[in-house]
Amino acid sequence: MSYFDKRIGNQSSKLSKDLLQLVERKQSNLCVSVDFNTKDSLLKMVEAVGPYVCMIKTHVDIISDFDIDLVEKLKELSVKYDFLIFEDRKFADIGNTVSLQYSSGVHKIADWSHITNAHALPGDGIVKGLKKVGLEKGRGLLLLAQMSSEGSLAVGDYTKASLAMAQRHKDFVIGFIAQEKLGGENDDFLILTPGVGLDVKGDGMGQQYRTPEEVIKAGTDVIIVGRGVTGSQSTVDYQKAAAEAQRYKKAGWEALTKVHGL
Ligand code: S5P
């Protein structure tokens, strides 16, 4: 059985199967994080890198002119270029509050984002609250089991407890934001890893970068790259970003091929 067939067979949610199929089909395990703060610059960046990614990660709360039209355009681009949308909301409250934050407000994240994430800190209630809203819409959740930043407190027993929490909610938790493989064959969670860069080791504000090959050797499925692809918004060059996306796509796919003998 091929590597992807095996991984897909291990998944309990349709969304995680879809993501692995997409990675294989597009030969891309690259998620680009577009941390830009206007609608226009975000959409232009997605237009530039869309053909090379399996996922686009957003932080919609930083967009000064956010409206529903942005969401509609993002959804259109996700169909046009075949990628999933991941709103990096990092929920961190009690179940009742997160269910409201996920479904309501200006952003209505559950209506359009295939995937979102949450800290395990509050306990199982956070997963229950999000699941109540997201499960029937076919959404999936990633738990932040580890972080890329220097001095992160999400280590050791906290990471283990995050894994145990995910195991109790396999219908909705599809995997982790983590720096290494967590779980085994019986709970084959997806690992999405930020803090990935080919050229620099940090950003002077605590971010730490490893190369695609380093993280994929450690068990990553999807590499999350922000500024390494997009550059900074103040000096944005969409053509360069498209070229960088191709470079990271190639690096990610080659590492996956090598590590898993595809
Ligand atoms: O541990 C983490 C978790 C996340 S989701 N470390 C991170 O950096 N992130 C996010 O990934 C962060 O919020 C940012 O959007 C992206 C990394 O961006 P970059 O420009 O440093 O690649």
Q: pLDDT by residue (tens digit) across 7-42?
A: 999 999 999 999 999 999 999 999 999 999 999 999
The pLDDT of residue 186 is: 81
Whether 168 contacts 128, CB under 8 Å: no
Q: What six digits make up the tokens of 115? A: 């995937």
User: Which residue range forms the structural domain that includes residue 239?
Assistant: 3-195+214-260
Both tokens of 140, joined, read 């999936």
Is 236 part of a structural domain of the chain? Answer: yes
Q: Cα–Cα distance between 190 and 129 in angstroms, integer? A: 21
226 is in an annotated binding site: yes
Distance CA 166, CA 183 (A): 10
- The average pLDDT across 70-86 equals 98
| Secondary structure of residue 53 in the 3-state scheme | coil
Mean pLDDT across the chain:
98
Which protein residue has the closest C-alpha to ligand 1 atom 19?
Answer: 226
- For the segment 119-141, the average pLDDT, to the nearest whole number, is 98
Residue 205 resides in a domain: no
In the residue annotation, 93 being an active-site residue is answered as yes
Query: What pLDDT was estimated at residue 151?
Result: 98
Burial 162-190 (b: 16+ CB within 10 A, else e): bbebbeebbebbbbbbbbeebbeeeebbb
In a domain, 207, yes or no: no
Query: Could you give the CA distance from residue 242 to residue 146 in angstroms, rounded to a whole number?
Result: 29
Q: Look-up: residue for tokens 């001095």? A: 151
In a domain, 163, yes or no: yes
The predicted structure's pLDDT at residue 105: 98
Residue 209 lies in a domain: no
Among 36, 207, 225, 244, say which to mutate for ligand 1: greatest number of ligand atoms within 8 Å of CB. Answer: 207
Task: Name every residue whose Cβ is closer than 8 Å to that of residue 201 and which is 6 or more positions away in sequence.
Answer: 208, 209
Q: How many domains does the chain have?
A: 1
Residue 154 lies in a domain: yes
Residues with a CB atom less than 6 Å from ligand 1: 33, 35, 59, 88, 147-149, 177, 194-195, 203, 207, 224-228
| DSSP secondary structure code for residue 208 in this structure | B
Residue 191 has φ and ψ, to the nearest 5°, of -115, 120
Residue 58 in any domain: the answer is: yes
Q: What element of type H or E holds 139? A: none
Q: Give the CA angle between residues 10, 148, 250 to the nearest 5°.
A: 65
In this predicted structure, what is the pLDDT of residue 182? 98
The span from the CA of 51 to the CA of 28, in Å, is: 10
261, two tokens: 């003998």
Q: Are 49 and 245 in contact (CB under 8 A)?
A: yes
Kindly report the CATH number assigned to the domain that includes residue 139: 3.20.20.70
- The closest residue, in CA terms, to atom 9 on ligand 1 is 194
> Please, which pLDDT band fits residue 107 given cuts at 50, 70 and 90?
very high
Determine whether 90 is an active site residue: yes
For residue 203, being part of any structural domain is answered with: no
| Residue 171 among the catalytic residues | no
**Predicted local confidence at residue 184, as pLDDT:** 80
